[in-house]
Structure 1
Amino acid sequence: MRRLGAMAVAVFTLTACSTAMPGTPLAAPPRGPVGPIPAGLEKFYGQELAWGDCEPYVNDELSKLSFKGDVECARLEVPVDYARPQAATAKLGLLRKRAGKPADRIGALVLNPGGPGQSGMVAAASMDWKSSLAARFDLVGFDPRGVGASEPKVKCLSDKEKDAERLKPPITGVSPEAVAAIEQENKEFAERCAKETGADMLANIGTRDVVKDMDVLRSVLGERKLTYLGFSYGTRIGTAYAEAFPGNVRAMILDGAVAPNQDRVQQIIGQANGFKKAFDSFAAACTKKSTCALGTSAPGAEAELDKMVDPLKATPLAVRDRKLSYSDAAIAVIQGLYSEELWPTLEQALGDFKAGRGDILLKLSDFYQGRNADGSYSSSQDAFTAIRCVDDPPVKDRAVVADEARRIAEGVPKGALDDEEDNAPALSPCAFWAVPNTSAPHEPKVSGLPELLVISSTGDPATPYAAGVELAKALGAALLTVEANSHTAFLQDNRCVDDAGTAYLIDLKPPAEGTRCK
């Protein structure tokens, strides 16, 4: 569910961050508090943001970006526990690019790029600031609690421990010994997360609390109604916000939708089949070329990939002072399947690997897992698990775990992209989590919403097209179908999609029913 494909296109060309020089001051947009304010939260809804230089907010992810205009950064203070607003607080990193045409400014467009665990500050800084949206809206990206430049961060493993985890050989089979080994690793991981992050933060890290933060942000930005753009897991945030604060919504685009009531097993099966479909499309294109590392037969491409990567299970490949493991290679292939734009990079990576060079595969895996050039890691992977463990009920009944493993084994395609650990009847890290879940998949109960826009791609590997259809129906939203092999589609150089989404956000006019883009 991570929205990585679009950003990964530039994984080898991003440059060091330079903070923008101040330009001509723009008229300040109105600030909060505005709109309804829940009792006891007045000081948060009415706080004034200290917008300023972004340099103090630069972290490992933001340092990869060169800002191409005037941006401002700030921190938003929110309660760690909304039931105890006078207790500990968290500070969320914000990045804003003010509207290019202040006289025509509509308001703020708040965005989340997915994950869970990805940086909205990075997403906002990466947007096309010459677009019609940037002219009419302040573009505001926020790092959710525990993520990126926000404080405190979710932390489970050290950088060295994460490197070591990647080099471990995969645990295969479903024997009692294999199950016990998987569970021991999962238990130790959960214990480390509780120790390093703290139970209070873990208990309030989920979507339930992120949407409350987002309503505070809406007010502090001076917006009576929220205009929101959410990708992938960001669609779950948007859905939850619409359910909790329907009267505070102006417009929402939800792109690459997470089905609102899918359980973990349905998600695993859906994604596995989605990536299998994406691999088959990639293989069909690759094997038409004599240079394709997977051969010249599309039906035999996955077997060829299996043969190529299988030796890594026993012996990782040396890549300068590091090693490329089997899990790295599998993750790199998955990363390369997020979008057709990444297919040439994946094709080159596999060709190099067949020739004994693993540099590009390792970079793709590093990008997916949040590893920086200096060996440090972002908080994205730790946050991903922490959020998922409170967003969904844990499964602790071993009979249920065994049934889920059977359903997964029957539902996922077999081959190089199959994760055997998903097929083992082992308790996940969430079964050992130190705090209870705060959300659960369910059919949204919404009323009084304006018409939202859901965008879904027919060849989306991570959040299959059917999930978008389901979410649009549940929210009574308009559906824009995109005939493409990509995870998310808006603002990715598809003029049909971009024009439809921009018209909706600016004029509140969704595309006509049945609209399709290619």
Structure 2
Amino acid sequence: MPNRSGLRAVVLTTTAVLLSAALAGCGGKEEHGDLTAQKLDWQDCPAPSDAEGGGSAPSPLPGGAKWECATMKAPLDWSRPKGDTIDIALIRARSSGPASKRIGSLVFNFGGPGGSGVSTLPAFGSDYTALRTRYDLVSFDPRGVGRSAPVECESDAQLDEYFQQDATPDDAAERAQLLQRTQQFNAACEKNSKKVLPHVRTTDVARDMDLMRQVLGDDKLHYFGISYGTELGGVYAHLFPGHVGRAVLDAVVDPTQNPEQSALGQARGFQLALDNFAKDCTSKTTDCPIGDTEQEVKDRIAKLLADLEKKPIPGLFPRQLTQTAATNGIAQSLYSKDFWGYLTEGLEEAYDGDGKILMLLSDSMNGRNENGEYSNLTAANIAINCSDEKPRYTADDVQRKLPEFRAASPLFGDYLAWGMVGCTDWAVPGAADHPDVSAPGSAPVLVIGNTGDPATPYEGARKMVDALGKGVGVELTYKGQGHGAYDSKNKCVQGAVNGYLLDGKVPKAGTVCS
């Protein structure tokens, strides 16, 4: 399974929709001049494409402001800027304040990698009401994602089968089957997306963002990156330090880690989140319905997963809830404390033989809607990660590392360790062991770490600050739960972020919010 660096808003949006319902291309070669001189034709936004997750056209913001969409041309291959172009899909909501107070555009990336910014920004637009007083809110589908030359791999039916596979093999036969299925998926990506696969690296997206900055008419890029979006922001700052405006990185990816170290960090992070979930459930005044003690909660979850490996239970007809799907669903619910109630209910029902809620959670992680249609979230996630990450791990590598992963997390260790084979036999070589985010000369970058973050552990914020370089990274700590800090609605965090983005007031390094 893919080792995602945090899907944040993308999966949270899908989860909310699915649970509430259940429980209640590349352009051809063309002659063009300077792409920085192109004019964007902003129009009413269409309904999201299948690759973006489908659904309805975005509703206006409170107060009636409409979302507008446009397409920007960018080089397919940045080493050949006069060659073929691709379309980059953009969305914006204009600034609500007076023109004299407008700073420019604030560009968002919500993570993944593989998440559609065009479909995600409207879902969270009201959270950024204060920021819209001085900025146009802008997001986009990064190349390979959504409507921006999307990576295509397998059909919906094939993906259903792919996600039902045993992702934690116990013997040689199961290991061979996992590797064979991974190879099959990766071969489909090469067959169906050969032209775009070499050009979806994070460095390519960063160059797209600098083109976007110029086309939007801004001297500096003002930026809000979340989860993988923090890695993208760091890479942009490295490539274009003189073009960095006011930038915020929230739920920070550790830029110093290779894929193995990142996966091991996630194992520890999800285990911490599970521990916090168990503690929260058993500390309430009402009885915890899934265990009387923290250890009993975790023991019963472990037993459920062991039982599901032997005998899956009914999920969403005709699919059954397998051990892998249940693990995936549990992990998804730990991205936000808002979903702990769903996890409790899902576990209760699973103990009674009904796997529907855990399967809905798993589906949301994988970009599957209630109609059985997948966005290209998984395809893009794997393509971008495998293009960025140089190491290629074998089954023997994983076998040697399993004890360390199991020590980090008895529940998630195997799952995340075996995810490292996802780039084996990938068609495009990986770029580096880890991204370069050193950015001497950049404007200050506000870096926010959340002590309870499962997907991007807190320690990554300090590593990002150090890697950005002296005088660039400014660290802020949020003592909370979930993936990300600003969307927790914590007044201290939002006050610090708003003060910087709106008024240029850099928080004191080492500020702590709780």
Q: Same fold (TM over 0.5)?
A: yes
**2:493 alignment partner, one of 494, 497, 513:** 497
What's the CA shift for 1:143? 0.5
Secondary structure in structure 1 of the residue aligned to 2:299: helix
Amino acid at match of 2:404: E
Q: 1:346 to 1:162 in 2, by over 3 A?
A: same
Cross-structure match for 1:407: 401
**How far is the alpha carbon of 1:288 from its aligned partner?**
3.6
**In 1, are the aligned partners of 2:274 and 2:334 still within 8 Å (CA)?**
yes
CA distance in 1, matches of 2:287, 2:349: 11
Larger displacement relative to structure 2 (5-14 or 289-298): 5-14
Partner of 1:33: none
**Alignment partner for residue 140 of structure 1, among 138, 156, 161?**
138
Cα displacement string for residues 456-508 of structure 1 (whole angstroms, at most 9, x for unaligned residues) = 00111111111101101222311110001111111331111111101111122
Q: Which residue of 1 aligns with 2:223?
A: 228
User: Conserved in 1, the CA contact under 8 Å of 2:151 and 2:379?
Assistant: yes
Residue 125 and residue 13 in structure 1: after superposition, are their counterparts in 2 closer, same or farther (change >3 A)?
farther
Equivalent residue number for residue 48 of structure 1: 39
Structure 2 gaps, min length 5: 22-30
Contact kept, 8 Å, 1:172 with 1:420, in 2: the verdict is no
Distance 1:279 1:161, change over 3 A: same
Relative to structure 1, the CA distance from residue 308 to residue 407 in structure 2 (aligned partners, 3 Å threshold; closer, same or farther) is closer
Moved more, 413-422 or 109-118: 413-422
Work out whether residues 293 and 354 of structure 1, in 8 Å CA contact, stay in contact via their aligned partners in 2. Answer: no
The two structures have a TM-score, normalised by structure 2, of 0.89
- What does the per-residue CA deviation read over 1:252-301, in whole Å, with 9 as the maximum and x for residues that have no partner? 10111111120111111100011101101100111345653431011232
After superposition, the C-alpha distances for 1:359-410 in whole angstroms (9 at most, x for unaligned) are 22121111110001111100011111110111010326x6xx7456423531
Structure-to-structure mapping, 1:279-294, within 5 angstroms? 279-288=274-283, 291-294=287-290
Coordinate RMSD, CA, aligned: 2.4
Alignment of 1:351-370 (within 5 A): 351-370=348-367
In structure 1, the partner of 2:269 is 274
2:73 corresponding residue in structure 1: 77
Q: Deviation of residue 416 (structure 1)?
A: 2.8
Match of 2:371 in 1: 374
Conservation of the 8 A alpha-carbon contact between 1:303 and 1:415: no
Displacement after TM superposition at 1:178 (Å) = 4.0
Q: Single out whichever of 245-254 and 127-136 deviates more from structure 2.
A: 127-136
TM-fit CA distance, 1:172: 2.0
Secondary structure of the structure 1 residue equivalent to 2:152: coil
Map 1:258-407 to 2 at 5 A.
258-288=253-283, 291-323=287-319, 324-395=321-392, 402-403=396-397, 405-407=399-401
Cα distance between partner residues in 1 of 2:438 and 2:167 = 41
Of residues 8, 26, 38, the one that matches 1:4 is 8
Partner of residue 479 from structure 1, selected from 475, 488, 492: 475
Letter in structure 2 aligned against 1:100:
S
Aligned residue for 2:484, secondary structure, equals coil
Letter in 1 for 2:7: R
Matched to 1:363, the amino acid is L
CA distance change for structure 1 residues 9 and 164 in 2, over 3 Å: closer, same or farther? closer
Unaligned runs of 5+ in 1: 16-39
Percent pairwise identity? 35
Alignment of 1:63 onto 2:52:
no
**Distance (Å, rounded) in 1 between the aligned partners of 2:137 and 2:348:** 40
Q: 1:357 to 1:180 in 2, by over 3 A?
A: closer
Residue in structure 2 matched with residue 459 of structure 1 by the alignment: 452
Between Structure 1 and Structure 2, how many residues are aligned?
Answer: 486
TM-score calculated relative to the size of structure 1: 0.88
Q: 1:245 aligns with which of 230, 240, 243?
A: 240
Residues 517 and 235 (structure 1), Cα distance of their counterparts in 2 relative to 1, 3 Å cut: same
Query: How big is each residue's C-alpha offset from its partner over 1:162-216, in whole Å with a ceiling of 9 and x where there is no partner?
Result: 11122234452354x4443332222222211100111x31101110100011111
Q: Which of residues 479, 485, 488 in structure 1 aligns to 2:484?
A: 488
The residue type paired with residue 349 of structure 2 is D
Q: 1:208 aligns with which of 203, 224, 237?
A: 203
Q: Which amino acid aligns with 2:139?
A: G
How far does the alpha carbon of each residue in 1:220-261 deviate from its partner, in whole angstroms, 9 at most, with x for none?
100110000000100110011000011111111011111112
Residue 78 and residue 491 in structure 1: after superposition, are their counterparts in 2 closer, same or farther (change >3 A)? same
